[in-house]
Amino acid sequence: MHFHRVCLESFGYALPDEIVTTAELERRLAPLYERLRLPEGRLELMTGIRERRFFPPGTRPSDISVRSAERAIRASGIDRRLFGALVHGSVCRDFLEPATACRVHHGLGLPAASMIYDVSNACLGLLTGMVQVANMIELGQIRAGVIVGTECGRELVENTIALLNSDHSLTRESIKHSIASLTIGSASVAIVLCDEELSQTGNRLTSAVVHCDTTQHDLCHSRGLETVMQTDSEELMRQGVAAGAETFQRFLAVAGWEPHQIDRTFCHQVGVAHRKLLFESLGLDPEIDFATLETLGNTGAAALPITMALGVEQGWLRPDDRVALLGIGSGINCQMLSVRWQRSPMRAPEELARTDKQSVAPQPKSVAS
């Protein structure tokens, strides 16, 4: 897929106030550790995750998604009457029906003519939404759209801890399928895409490729981030990286880039071993990658876009950078997008913060892209 008129205009995001360290999780897993004689520090050593964040118990994804999307829309400076689509793409949703996007749309006051829906694609839901909205813009069907999602991982982690402590049949081998559940964190992020005629930035989304290997669809499964998840992490890593390497070759061909021409990357955040193997397989220097894994953990579908939002906020991108968004999710699905970066919009995050009159905790931060 090639895009000639689509711009990645802005981000808005929300991070929970509550920080939970991996050391704290291990203290809560003391019954399991004592029973299986596991060494302290094992979890952080295996995953590279030092801490993650959780929204308060009972948080509705839509509440936080409204805040993130509001910030992204305001950061873009685009009249909300021009928004023709809203996609909610996180694993976590308020209900099976109606779509969580309905409540978010209502909270944002977007036009009644907007195309609104939820999209479910594991950790690639927001990237999938970006591709869909970009296609609508490229076809001239809409002028601007917002993609948003909120992952609430607290219940999954707490349910996993309770299960591991109570199930005395578990062994050192069998607990491996629960390790991925302990890497999960919470976050919310929104992305605004628009037609080039509305853009202040000129940050162009130029191409996208997709690839799937559904022979591996059973390596990770759950009924949602509020339930227990079973993951064959080692095999998923191997198969995911293999699928990613195949996708990357197609990505280079479609983007018209050589590996050495990629200036910056943002990847789905899984674990340090996954990241190391991925960059070795793709032949990329890990120094060009911006990572949030150590402090946010795996935040599901929010992971890649919020990592990019934070990278933008911290000045990681420079004018004319070639930016690769490298998404690999269970299924196995891969999506990779190319961005030609230029600059941030005129409205700074501090200005948005001063004019924000809403009072919901945790308050989202915003970053203009």
Whether 234 sits among the annotated catalytic residues: the reply is no
Say how far apart CA 53 and CA 46 lie, in whole Å.
Answer: 19
Q: Which of 34, 97, 197, 350 is catalytic?
A: 97
297: closest CA among 60, 81, 50? 50
- Distance (Å, whole) CA 95 – CA 55: 18
How far apart CA 297 and CA 184 sit, in angstroms, is: 6
Distance from C-alpha of 362 to C-alpha of 18, rounded to nearest angstrom = 9
Q: Clarify whether 97 is annotated catalytic.
A: yes
Measured between alpha carbons, how far is 120 from 306 in angstroms, rounded to an integer? Answer: 18
Sign (positive or negative) of CA dihedral 290, 294, 298, 299: negative
- Catalytic one of 7, 92, 102, 123: 123
- The C-alpha atoms of residue 346 and residue 324 are separated, in whole angstroms, by 24
| Phi and psi angles of residue 61, each rounded to the nearest 5 degrees, phi first | -50, -40
Report the Cα 69 to chain-centroid distance in Å: 14
d(CA 145, CA 10): 11
Catalytic residues: 97, 123
